[in-house]
Amino acid sequence: MPFANLKVPADTLTPESKKKLVDAVTDAFADVYGERARATTLVIVDEVPDGGWGVGGNVLTAEMLGRS
C-alpha cells in the first residue's frame, strides 16, 4: 500500500485544496505503481501548528514566513 504523510502549516489549506493535494499525490503514486495502487493509496495531511517547524536550528513561525 503506497503511503504519504504530508506536513503543512496549520490553517493554510481549504478543504478543497486538501482534496486537490490528496488527489495529486494519489495520481502520482498511480502513475508510478499503476492504477492498481490507486484504491490502496493512503495520504495523511498533518497540519503543523504555528511554531511547530524548525529549519537549521530555528523555529519557524507564521510571522517569519510572512503569513501574519
List, in order, residues 6 or more apart from 34 with CB less than 8 Å away: none
pLDDT of residue 21: 98
pTM: 0.82
Q: What is the pLDDT of residues 47-60, one digit of tens each?
A: 999 999 888 998 98
Single-letter residue type at 24: A
User: Which positions are annotated as active-site residues?
Assistant: 2
List, in order, residues 6 or more apart from 57 with CB less than 8 Å away: none
Domain boundaries, the chain: 3-60
Q: What is the pLDDT of residues 2-36, one digit of tens each?
A: 999 999 989 889 999 999 999 999 999 999 999 99
48 in Cβ contact with 9 (< 8 Å): yes
CATH match for 3-60 among 3.40.190.10, 3.40.50.720, 3.40.50.2300, 3.30.429.10: 3.30.429.10
61 in Cβ contact with 5 (< 8 Å): no
